Structures are given as C-alpha cells and as structure tokens.
A and B are shown apart, each in its own frame.
Chain A
C-alpha cells in the first residue's frame, strides 16, 4: 500500500516534470518562430542594394523569420533612427549594409549592448569588435584585376578620370586603392580628374558632364560602381564621345552587364550580393541556434567581367546561380 502510494507520487512528479519541459519547449519553439530580422540598407535608390536587401529578406523568410527592410537613404542619422526603431520593436538580429565605415560603428555597438547580433553585408564598419560578422566583397582584388585590364586596354598610355563613391565608405577606397596599385605604375597614364559622385547614377552623370567640358580629350573613365559608370556613359552619349572613351564600372548590375554584352562598357567587377545576403541570413539563423564562433570578416571574391567572358555571367552573379 505504502509502495503503491510512493509509485503514484513518483509518477505524478514525472508527469509534472514532463509537462513542464513540454510547455518550455513549446515556448522556446514559439520564441524561435517569432524571431524577427531587420534588414537595414544604405540606400534603396540603387538597384544593386535593392537586390541585396530583397535577397537577405527572402533568405531570412525562407528560414522562418519575420523581416522588414529599412532604407537609410545614405544618411547616417536616418540609419541611427532605423537602429533605434528596430531595437525598440524587438528585432532579434540585424542584417546591415552601413552608410559610413566610421559613422555607423555607434549604431552597431548600440545593438551589441542589448545583445542583438549585427551581420554586415557588402560594406564594413571600421571595428573588429562591433559586428558579429562582416561579409564583404573583396573590392581591392577585383579592382586590381580591373586596373590590370585598364592598363592593357589603354596600352599603358592615355588620360583618364576616376569617379569615386561615398568618401566615408571603405569600399570606395579599397576599389580606388586596388585600381591605383596597378595604374599608378605607368607614367603614361595620367589622371586628369578624381571626384566623388556618391555611388549615384545622376550624380555620376552630372559630375562627369562637367569634367568632360574641361577635359574633352580623355581616353577612359574608371568608376567605383556601375551606377556611376552608367551615369558617365549617359554623359558620353550626350557629348557624342561614347565610342572614344572606355568606361569601367564595378558591381555587376543588370544594365552594365547588358552594356558590356553590347560593347558599350568595357569591364566591371562582378560582386555576388546573393551570396553575401544568403550568408548573412544563414549566420543570423545559426546565431539563434547557438553558434557564436563567426569569422569577424568574410571576404567574397570578385570576378572581372569583360566582353570575352560575359557568357558566364548574368546580373548580380553567375548564370547558374540565378
């Protein structure tokens, strides 16, 4: 009789513990299901970043998370607002494309303070400790390859212009540095103007139009991204010089890939935004599942695209990837 009572009580305790675990597991599953990922993008005024943001959102959704894309409009103050909103609204991770390598550090640190991981995509912040991981294009290597091709295309002689991107972004300087590491070794190649057009197509056109008025005899223009390359090309068409001046871009955006196939643009550096977006979203998923040993920096190789190998590529990546 006593034994039965003990067994009965033990069974009761077991059922209670089991129920407790079941409820707890349901709760944690429910929490996981309701995790939200914010995607904060420097600007949605450029199709390349739209592609990056949409792919990050698509992958995060596929992994089961609620997502929202925020547009910083290349404005660090607006980016700060987005971070504050995202953190106040309970987002559990941020897939981040910063506007400024230094100016954006404070935003990342704010998220870190409250335990929200930040995964940088394509652009970096100048801190090895702030972001959980930074997935970045190897812009420098890509532009070294472009620089080498540039020298060969111009037979080591000629005048050229460089259009820089956002002055506060490391990609701007990594691309410029990669290009100049090669080109500056050739005294026959003279840079007659170097100006920033903020990675923007319209600005690229305006800046290049005024440069063309002062330097009508240039042979080439190297642009820090494809949007500026298309802007420069438009300016060349307006001036009737599109056949005389070689245009080099960087990104692998749709209009430039088409323009290379048509012989309008000479070359670009193909980045892989889908790879970066998918890696960032997958890292966030792994973080939620307990992984903590992320590489601080994860460079993604850039490949040069010219008319010779255009058949292997499509906008924003390789043909087989799409």
Chain B
C-alpha cells in the first residue's frame, strides 16, 4: 500500500514537473514580446504633435488632381512622400464635399473645391498600412533600429484612427451631409489611376447636416 502511494506521488510530481516545463506560445507572440520599443507611445506622440499640426498644410484634393494632369512629375516631386525608392508615393490631402453614398467599406464624397467636382472614396473599414505614417513626410526611418519597430508605429497610428476618428463619424454621417476630410492618399507613379481615389482618413468632420 505504501509503495502504491509512493509511486502515485512520484508520478504526480513527474506530471507537475513535465507540465510546467513545456510551454506552447504562438511564434508571433514570442517575436512581439522581444521588442522593447514602445510603438504605442511613439505613435500617440507622432499623431498629436506632428501629424495633426501638418494637416493645414495638406494639399486640396481637387487641386492635386488638376496638378497631376498638368505635370505629373513635378506634382509627385512637390507633394508626394515616400521613405524609399519605387513607384508608390503618399500624399497628405484635404477637402470638403457632400456625401453621395455610404457603403460597407467606405463613404463616397463629391469633393467641391471649385468648378471641379470629383467623387472621392473615404475608407471607413480598411484603415491599414503605412499611408498615414508616411504621407506627411515628417518621419525618418533611420531613427529606428529595425523596420519592425517602424512598422509597429504604422499599426498603432492606424489603431488611433480606427478607435478615435471613425466610430463617431460612421455613427452620425448620412447621405447628403457636408463633410470636411483630411488624410493620406496612395498613388502609383508609373500606373497612375486617378479614376478611383481612396483616402485613408486622419480627420473627419460633419460640418453641415442634411
């Protein structure tokens, strides 16, 4: 009887030791926990102190589209930002217009600056990627030890927009409202498509209800 208790206690101890020796964690969780950079804090500071103060300097969307038709190269050079080489450039844009439709993933606005009227898609679902981070041209990749930290900044900036900018707008906007918007626009220099303009918003205001 004593032997059985001894063996049972031994097996029990063994199970406890074995259970506590082996851990299963997702590979991406392990990788994420190894980074010491505080992307959330950096993003908050960047959003409040660099991005928001840059918005008054954003180019008006209809003006940008007209300039692209007149001189693509010069317009990309003057208003486009990118941190490296390639065809993709980001533009910080603003505008005002009337909401013509509200869809699952976006809101369509007829931007009216002057006689030019252009339909603009404002993304209300897919707010992701580096567009917002890079459009102002006020961030330097060389300040970061690795690109993962740098990309985490994008993820956190996008979270701010999704949590603080989109919900209130989506809740109250209706067709016919007049809205003011500012945000980032991605354009491909080589395959320029101005027929489908999508703005990733940074600021959205309903200035006149229907």
Contact = CB atoms under 8 A, between A and B. Distances in A.
A174 to B, nearest CB: 6
B129 A297 contact: no
A180 B144 CA distance: 22
Interface in B134-157: 141-142, 144-148, 151-152, 154-155
Contacts of B86: 138, 272, 275, 299-303
B155 A136 contact: no
Contact of B130 (A124, A138, A148): A138
Contacts of B129: 141, 144-145, 178, 181
Interface in A124-148: 124, 126-128, 136, 138-141, 144-145, 147-148
Contact of A299 (B27, B141, B146, B158): B141
A46 to B, nearest CB: 21
Interface string A280-322: 0000000000000001111111110000010010000010000
A279 B85 contact: yes
A154 interface: no
Contacts of A298: 84-85
A173 B84 contact: no
B28 A177 contact: yes
A167 interface: yes
Contacts of A297: 83-84, 141-142, 144, 147
Contacts of A136: 84, 147
Nearest to B191: A312
Contacts of A174: 147-148, 151
A150 to B, nearest CB: 11
A126 B145 contact: yes
A299 B140 CA distance: 12
Contacts of B152: 177
Nearest to A320: B190
A300 B87 CA distance: 9
A99 B30 CA distance: 20
B26 interface: yes
Interface of A: 101, 124, 126-128, 136, 138-141, 144-145, 147-148, 151, 164, 167, 170, 173-174, 176-178, 180-182, 194, 196, 272, 275, 279, 295-303, 309, 312, 318
Interface of B: 26-28, 31, 82-88, 126, 128-130, 141-142, 144-148, 151-152, 154-155, 158, 188, 190-191
27 contacts: A124-B147, A128-B144, A128-B145, A139-B147, A140-B147, A140-B151, A144-B130, A147-B128, A148-B128, A164-B27, A167-B31, A173-B148, A174-B148, A176-B28, A177-B28, A177-B148, A177-B151, A178-B151, A182-B128, A194-B27, A196-B27, A275-B85, A296-B142, A298-B84, A299-B84, A300-B86, A303-B86
